[in-house]
Structure 1
């Protein structure tokens, strides 16, 4: 089970991130530098497998949230540098959460419970339909209003299953 954490900030820079010198993969990896309102900085390594919600093209100046595995090894440097698993551009029309959801569709932090409906679109990262049960999986959840209960409950617009 992946322990997802996130950092939201304005993109201050995007540059190529060389993995190995003279590598054919050169240019396939990017380093996104984000700064939040408090002035904290985080760098995200964006790989070819990083999932971008709505397949947006992020540019300098955009406000984005990077989701990463808190249990993955990270270099002890400043600013901190994490491998981005999911990136989501700030959107006033919906919220995005990335988490492991158990058999009751409760997020691993216990803060969000999903109530599926027939209108909830459930897809894979490649935008193909997912026909199985989304429970007990890592999910990207796109949703709107929630209840004020604990945990908050929502009927998501879309779920992306991270296989």
Structure 2
């Protein structure tokens, strides 16, 4: 996957119909997110969309949505992406969703992870991940970083995307 992100304020939340039958009614939503600079993105929220810390999102919240830039999208405006991960923005907490190589450096080369004994490493379902998280797609929550290139951090939590 080629993870990209878009941040902004949620301006509306509505049901998103994916079929004509009622079995999926209410299971899919559309979040409209405005960057504040004239850019708007609609995120399709599916039952599989991972919400950091399982937080509830409401209109007016600042969020960041992560999506696969290689996935097909309809040619409409505003752009509409399938959200893989959503997070509410919090001071002192950063989130990175990316592939991390054998040295735990993100695919864009901007972040290197230094795992400590206090770093929680789990699967998306919350269960422990008891292997090395190298060469995997990861959701990483972290605080301060060094000013080096790549920036280094000791993450609070790593969620392994299987």
Normalising by structure 2, we get a TM-score of 0.98
SS at match of 2:108: coil
Q: Which stretches of structure 1, 4 residues or more, deviate above 2 A after TM superposition? A: none
Deviation of 1:37 (Å): 1.8
The residue that corresponds to 2:150 in the other structure is 151
Deviations 1:71-90 (A, max 9, x none): 00011110000000000000
| Corresponding residue SS for 1:24 | helix
Consecutive unaligned residues of structure 1, counting only runs of 5 or more, are none
Q: Which structure 2 residues correspond to residues 36-115 of structure 1 after superposition, within 5 A? A: 36-115=35-114
Aligned mates of 1:40, 1:32 — CA distance in 2: 14
Find the aligned partners of 2:41 and 2:149 in 1 and give their Cα distance.
30
Query: Number of aligned pairs?
Result: 162
Aligned Cα root-mean-square deviation (Å): 0.7
2:31 counterpart residue number: 32
The whole-number CA distance in structure 2 between the counterparts of 1:28 and 1:53 is: 18
3-state DSSP class of the match of 1:54? helix
Q: 2 CA distance for matches of 1:37 and 1:26?
A: 31
TM-score normalised by structure 1 residue count: 0.98
Gaps of 5+ in 2: none
For residues 29-73 of structure 1, the C-alpha deviation after alignment (integer angstroms, 9 at most, x for no partner) is: 000000012021000000000000000000000000000000000
C-alpha distance in 2 between matches for 1:5 and 1:97: 10
Contact 2:92 2:144 in 1 (8 A): no
Deviations 1:103-160 (A, max 9, x none): 1100010100001000000011111111111111110000011010100010101001
C-alpha deviation, 1:94, in angstroms:
0.7
